[in-house]
Every structure is written in C-alpha cells, then in structure tokens.
C-alpha cells in the first residue's frame, strides 16, 4: 500500500513509499483510510522537533471504514465508519491510566510518530480506542473530530465554559477557530478573536466568514482596550490561549477579568515565556493547562459536529493526495492553509 513515511531521524526525510499492508492483531480492526488531517505534530516530525520512532507512517487525525477484524474483536464489524483516539501504547496500569487519563500516560506512543499512522491506505488499530460516526456524517466532518475533541476537552470539560460567558481567543489558527466555534456552541455571549497582521489574509478573514465579527488585528487595534471597552471595564470571563506566542501569553492576564479563567491550548515550542506573575495573583485567575483528549469528549464532539452546532469542517482548506504532501506542509507553514486533509 501507499504510505507517507518519515524514513529516518533528522530534518526532512519524508517520502511516499510502498509499505506492507498491515494485518490486524488480537483486539485490532483493519481500517481503510478515507482521509487523514495534517496536524502541527506531523510538521514537527518533518522538522525533527518532536519525538518519533522511524521509519514511521505519519498522521493521527484519520477516519475510515472497518474492513477486517483480528481475533477477539467484540464491538466493531466490517462496514462501521470510525474515528480513533490517538492514545495507543498507554500502559493501562500506571497511576494516570488507572485514574482515567490514558491520554497522558508516559508510555503512550501515538500513531503518526510512535507507531504507524493514518497517512496510508490502511491502518490496524485497537478497537477499544475507536468511536463510531453516524451515517450522515461526511468524511470531512469525521476528519476534524480529533482536533475538535481537543478543544472540547479543554474548554467544555476542563475550563467549564458557561452560557453567557465573554470569550477571547488568541491565535486564529485551526485550533483557535475551532475554539471559537465550540465557545459559540456552548453559549458564549461574545467571542473575540485576536490575531497578527500575518493572520489577516486567511485566518481572520475565515473567522469573519464563520460569523465571528469581533476580530482584532493587533497591528490596528489595541486588544486590551478593545476587550475592556466591550466588557464595561471588567475583562473576559475566559481567555483561550491558542497562539503559543511568548509575546502574546503575558497579555492573557490583561484581557481576563478578576476571578476569570485562562485556558491554555497553544504550545510555545519550548521557548521561555516571561509572565507578570503577581498580576495573575492579584487577579486571582485560574490558569488551566491542557494536553490531548479525554475519552468523554469524543462522542460529545461527534454530536456537536454532526448536528451542525460546531461546523468544524469549515476550517478545511486543502484536500490532496499523499503525493502532494510537500506543498501541503509548505502551505501550513506559510499560513496559506488552515486544516489540510491527505486522501490516500
Ligand atoms: Zn492533531
Ligand atoms: Zn499508563
């Protein structure tokens, strides 16, 4: 079968290769891949800035149809359309696994970097990590369940957004835009999306197309003054940090209200961040850090997307065959793509 493979350690070393078709082991199903989203993780593996075990097939945001079963499969059958939690190799016995946090088990090695992923014609996958998708759900919708489930975990399950909340989002990339949609679905009274001049042409424009009219380009408008004006001088109930930018992160505390919450989603790529610590203390804010997806967020996300409450598929800008991965990765880096799908 065809597969997009990181062939060895180092910067680069990605190619489309012929790979052996996988055979399902006990408890595994074989899935014919319909689409696989490109995530920042895949780009980091390309640049050698994320751990990985080569040679490895890229991609963890995949969806497809079950075509075969290994021994001892109980819950799925050929023809089922599925999406998959990327929590493979979690040990099942450590403190985190036993407390329901397999997504941050130290043994976890996800598809796309730890084990072979979904940028291929087929993948074999443990059925305990699958979720069925409804008949009427499109492959586009299914392919964006994983990134959306991240935002649902972070904002709904962990930060506890409430109907009527005033939300500010920093960083209008795919995750920031998904965060805005989830905030709206959760009943936010207003969602302000803040970006840089580089975000104007595609990302902030897309935000407005999605109906978020309160976009702020920091080169044109002072975001702190604007948010205080919009909230009667109080500040936002929740600030969602999706930029990972060391310059933006300290501003979160100026945007949030006293006793408000800062939901941290973006990563800096190991850059240090200087923050006005005492300001956080005097504002008595809750800062909620996040990583990966909780089991419970998946079916919630599938329903939100399928019902149209979160039209997550609207962040898709590219659908390309595996062979065009180079252009797709370039476009992502140059802010010319939001979410890209590779179709094997
Ligand atoms: Zn991802
Ligand atoms: Zn574990």
Distance from the alpha carbon of residue 98 to the mean position of ligand 2, in angstroms? 7
Q: What is the distance between the alpha carbons of residues 116 and 2, in angstroms, rounded to a whole number?
A: 13
Q: How much is the mean pLDDT over the chain? A: 97
How do residues 221-246 score in pLDDT, each as one tens digit? 999 999 999 999 999 999 999 999 99
pTM of the model: 0.97
User: What pLDDT does residue 224 have?
Assistant: 98
User: What pLDDT does residue 270 have?
Assistant: 87
Distance from the alpha carbon of residue 99 to the mean position of ligand 2, in angstroms? 9
How do residues 38-90 score in pLDDT, each as one tens digit? 999 999 999 999 999 999 999 999 999 999 999 999 999 999 999 999 999 99
Closest-approaching ligand to the CA atom of 178:
1
Whether residue 113 has pLDDT greater than 90? yes
Distance from the alpha carbon of residue 109 to the mean position of ligand 2, in angstroms? 11
How do residues 121-166 score in pLDDT, each as one tens digit? 999 999 999 999 999 999 999 999 999 999 999 999 999 999 999 9
Distance from the alpha carbon of residue 281 to the mean position of ligand 1, in angstroms? 33
Closest-approaching ligand to the CA atom of 102:
2
Whether residue 269 has pLDDT greater than 90? no
Q: How confident is the model at residue 248 (pLDDT cuts 50, 70, 90)?
A: very high
Closest-approaching ligand to the CA atom of 291:
1
Q: What is the mean pLDDT of residues 272-301?
A: 97
Distance from the alpha carbon of residue 108 to the mean position of ligand 2, in angstroms? 7
How do residues 164-210 score in pLDDT, each as one tens digit? 999 999 999 999 999 999 999 999 999 999 999 999 999 999 999 99
């Amino acid at each position: 079968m065809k597969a997009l493979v990181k062939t060895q350690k180092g910067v680069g070393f990605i190619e489309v290769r012929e790979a052996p078709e996988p055979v399902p082991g006990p408890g595994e199903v074989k899935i014919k891949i319909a689409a696989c989203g490109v995530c920042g993780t895949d780009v980091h593996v390309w640049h050698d800035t994320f751990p990985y075990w080569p040679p490895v097939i890229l991609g963890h945001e995949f969806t497809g149809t079950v075509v075969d079963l290994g021994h001892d499969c109980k819950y799925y059958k050929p023809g089922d359309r599925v999406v998959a939690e990327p929590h493979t190799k979690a040990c099942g016995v450590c403190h985190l696994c036993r407390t329901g946090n397999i997504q941050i088990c130290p043994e976890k090695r996800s598809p796309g970097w730890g084990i072979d992923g979904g940028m291929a014609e087929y993948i074999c996958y443990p059925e305990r990590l699958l979720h069925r998708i409804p008949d009427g759900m499109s492959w586009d919708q299914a392919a964006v369940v994983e990134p959306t489930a991240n935002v649902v975990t972070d904002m709904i399950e962990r930060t506890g957004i409430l109907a009527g909340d005033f939300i500010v989002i920093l960083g209008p990339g795919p995750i920031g835009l998904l965060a805005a949609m989830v905030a709206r679905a959760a009943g936010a009274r207003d969602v302000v999306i803040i970006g840089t001049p580089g975000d104007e042409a595609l990302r902030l424009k897309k935000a407005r197309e999605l109906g978020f009219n309160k976009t702020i380009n920091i080169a044109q408008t002072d975001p702190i003054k604007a948010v205080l004006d919009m909230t009667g001088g109080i500040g936002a109930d929740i600030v969602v940090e999706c930029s990972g930018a060391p310059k933006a992160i300290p501003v979160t505390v100026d945007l949030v209200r006293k006793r408000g919450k800062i939901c941290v989603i973006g990563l800096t790529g190991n850059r240090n961040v200087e923050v006005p610590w005492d300001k956080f203390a005097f504002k008595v804010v809750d800062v909620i850090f996040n990583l990966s997806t909780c089991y419970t967020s998946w079916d919630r996300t599938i329903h939100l997307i399928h019902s149209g409450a979160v039209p997550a598929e609207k962040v898709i800008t590219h659908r390309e065959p595996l062979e065009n991965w180079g252009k797709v990765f370039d476009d992502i880096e140059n802010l010319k793509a939001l979410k890209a799908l590779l179709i094997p």
